[in-house]
Chains A and B, each alone.
Chain A
Amino acid sequence: DAGVIQSPRHEVTEMGQEVTLRCKPISGHNSLFWYRQTMMRGLELLIYFNNNVPIDDSGMPEDRFSAKMPNASFSTLKIQPSEPRDSAVYFCASNSAGGASTGELFFGEGSRLTVL
């Protein structure tokens, strides 16, 4: 079975450019999560969706970050304009529980972003 699919796996961009990260959750899962991982801050929840609706975006760092989930099989995380401090690995995860009712998450392989 296909797991959570993220793209791109790696992205190198220059400061000020727009970055779009993509995620396809596991089919049948109704909750989707975006996490950011850095050495300094570890794994941070940015936003999560339940049934395509954003439930909690309190972890989104600032207005430069936005996330959408237009349908049950696709989500994007956009950064515009990007800054060097946005360099991190961004993970998408999904599960089939209602909202964040359980912590049993299935993670994608991540998108490593480097902003120069």
Chain B
Amino acid sequence: GQQLNQSPQSMFIQEGEDVSMNCTSSSIFNTWLWYKQEPGEGPVLLIALYKAGELTSNGRLTAQFGITRKDSFLNISASIPSDVGIYFCAGQRGYGNKLVFGAGTILRVKS
């Protein structure tokens, strides 16, 4: 079945540092999305990517849709304490297909 490999599993960084995480797959996805989940809450959509090679920003967050369509990256610049949470990548093969989630990257920020 379709699987997404998300890394790293967790990160503990100093406030102000930049963060990078990625997601890879052996299958092609036509949509990549990044969600953030805070404790006791449901996931919230951060960025959606629809074209190979696309680079999209949302404030301090930047995500890229890999040119091979088998990977995606999320970068957070100048991290702050409220960036703490679990970041999930998700992929969709095509219109009407189910969303597949990665296992998540746990981000902790030391202030």
B97 contacts the other chain (CB 8 A): yes
Give Cα distance in the complex from A47 to B40, angstroms: 22
B85 to chain A, nearest CB (A): 13
Give the docked Cα–Cα distance between A23 and B40 (Å).
17
Which B residues are CB-close (under 8 A) to A91? 42-43
Evaluate contact between B92 and A107: CB separation under 8 angstroms: no
- Residues of B close to A45: CB separation below 8 A: 98-99
Contact A105 B99 (CB under 8 A): yes
Closest chain B residue, CB of each to CB of A92: B42
Please tell me the number of chain B residues within 8 Å of chain A, measured between CB atoms: 22
* Chain B nearest CB, measured from A16 CB (Å): 28
Alpha-carbon distance A29/B104, docked complex (angstroms): 27
Determine the distance from Cα of A4 to Cα of B42 in the docked complex, in whole angstroms: 10
Q: List residues 61-99 of chain A with CB under 8 A from any CB of chain B.
A: 91, 93, 98-99
Known A103-B33, A103-B90, A104-B45; contact A42-B101, beta-carbon cutoff 8 A: yes
Q: Return chain A residues, CB-CB under 8 Å to B98.
A: 45, 48, 56, 100
Distance in angstroms between the alpha carbons of A107 and B90 in the assembled complex: 14
Interface residues on A, range: 20 to 34
How far apart sit A103 and B102, CA to CA, in the bound complex (Å)? 13
List, in ascending order, chain A residues with CB within 8 A of B95's CB.
Answer: 101
Are A103 and B42 CB-contacts (below 8 A) given A42-B104, A56-B98?
A: no
Query: Does B103 interact with chain A (Cβ within 8 Å)?
Result: yes
The residue from A98, A104, A110 contacting B33, defined by CB atoms under 8 A apart: A104
User: How long is the Cα–Cα vector from A80 to B99 in the complex, in angstroms?
Assistant: 27
- For the complex, what is the distance from the CA of A100 to the CA of B104, rounded to whole Å? 21
Instruction: List, in ascending order, chain B residues with CB within 8 A of A48's CB.
Output: 98
A107–B43 touching, CB < 8 Å: yes
A residues adjacent to B (C-beta < 8 A): 4, 42-43, 45, 48, 56, 91, 93, 98-110
Residues of chain B whose beta carbon lies under 8 Å from any beta carbon of chain A? 31, 33, 40-45, 48, 88, 90-92, 95-99, 101-104
